[in-house]
Structure 1
Amino acid sequence: MFIHQIDADLSLKLIELGDAERIFELTNESREYLREWLPWLDTTTKVEDTRDYIQFCLKSYAENKGLYTVIVFRNEIVGVASYNSIDHRNKIAYIGYWLGQKYQGNGIMTKVAKALTSYAFDVLKLNRVEIRAAVENQKSRAIPERLGFVNEGQVRQTEWLYDHYVDHIVYGMLVKDWKKEE
């Protein structure tokens, strides 16, 4: 079981099937808020959809292709953060995350992204961590910017959000630069 303690109030825990009801509840509480930037809200309409997602996450973890965690803040699941993909050949992890609306503004996601980046470099011995965010998603973009990631450019029309495409900014961090930041 993967558990990574970030501080006294915050940790990451490997997602598991027992988390399905809480994750679905959190999704429902923040549905309209999350829908602005996440493409999967309309296809997550019941707990079983969340269970199917968790099965995918656990399979990815077992195959060493990803790491999906729940964010635990003060003993409550408040979001999800992951390496959506780990490219071992090129030593790259791709971080993704979302947080329930009422937990925004506590610095949680910045700490989580920092912890995932350090873990990728220190434990997994990767060379690069990448975070992508929609150009207009200022809250999500602020996280890699706060952590010193480099804005490496814009990818045009890279994600379909319900009825339109959005462009993404690609942020990258290299292990050699992370060590300087810390």
Structure 2
Amino acid sequence: MFQYTINEDLTLRVFRLDDAEEFFQLTMKNKTYLKEWLGWLDYTQTVDDTKENIRQRLQGILETGGYPKSVAILYKGSITGTIGYNEINRTSKIGKIGYWLGEEYQGNGIMTKACQAFISYGFTELNLNRIEIAAATENKKSRALPERLGFTEEGIIRQAEWLYDHYVDHVIYGLLREEWEKSPK
């Protein structure tokens, strides 16, 4: 099972079905906060919904030949959020990262470290050539991450996502393997 220890407090690991209750509680605790930028929260109503989400994540491991597409972020042993490749285009070797972190865990560098690890994983293990991150133009916290990690802002996709009662535009950021290889780690 995939597990990557970043430091003594921070680990990335594959979700397990027995994580459903903890992950559901984290999601519900942060539902109002997360709904500002994530459009799927109304589809998560029960622990069983979360268990089905984890089953789909585990199925993704089969699709990549044994490599997980998304993982749990554990901080001091507790699930605090998730990071993953929402899409992987194997032909073009492009991965699109998505992530979220419980509000109470933000500001500790958790997502920056998790994203650095997942970028490295994408380039070294998944053999990607390009990694993309899309963030709503007004989501300043989410946009700060790719900007901090050396991604290039490449453009805006208008009305890229429907969020409950309105569309939001997305800023697209890209990082190429050759750029990552030249950057300090």
Task: Flag whether TM exceeds 0.5 (same fold).
Answer: yes
Distance 2:128 2:42 in 1: 34
SS of equivalent residue, structure 2 residue 150: coil
Which runs of 5 or more residues in structure 2 are unaligned?
A: none
Distance 2:43 2:127 in 1: 35
1:55 matched to 2:55? The reply is yes
SS of equivalent residue, structure 1 residue 20: helix
Write the deviation string for residues 111-150 of structure 1: whole angstroms up to 9, x where unpaired: 1111111111122221111111000000000000000100
Identify the residue that residue 46 of structure 2 maps to in structure 1.
Answer: 46
1:14 matched to 2:39? The reply is no
Q: Indicate which of 81, 88, 91 corresponds to 1:89.
A: 91
Q: Indicate which of 127, 130, 133 corresponds to 1:128.
A: 130
Distance 1:60 1:69 in 2: 11
Q: How many percent identity over aligned positions?
A: 52
Distance 2:8 2:143 in 1: 26
Q: CA deviation at 1:16?
A: 1.7
1:178 matched to 2:172? The reply is no
| TM-score, length basis structure 2 | 0.95
Greater displacement, 52-61 / 26-35: 52-61
Distance 2:115 2:47 in 1: 27
Distance 2:15 2:133 in 1: 20
Distance 2:69 2:2 in 1: 9
Distance 2:50 2:161 in 1: 21
Q: Indicate which of 75, 78, 94 corresponds to 2:77.
A: 75
- In structure 2, what residue type is equivalent to 1:139? K
Distance 2:69 2:126 in 1: 11
Identify the residue that residue 165 of structure 1 maps to in structure 2.
Answer: 167
1:33 matched to 2:33? The reply is yes
Q: Tell me how many residue pairs correspond in the alignment.
A: 182
Which runs of 5 or more residues in structure 1 are unaligned?
A: none
Write the deviation string for residues 136-168 of structure 1: whole angstroms up to 9, x where unpaired: 000000000000100000000010000001000
Tell me which stretches of 4 or more aligned residues in structure 1 moved more than 4 Å: none
SS of equivalent residue, structure 1 residue 48: helix
Distance 1:42 1:121 in 2: 33
Q: CA deviation at 1:48?
A: 0.9
Give RMSD over aligned pairs.
1.1
Distance 2:33 2:127 in 1: 35
Write the deviation string for residues 71-115 of structure 1: whole angstroms up to 9, x where unpaired: 011111100111112111111111110001110110111111111
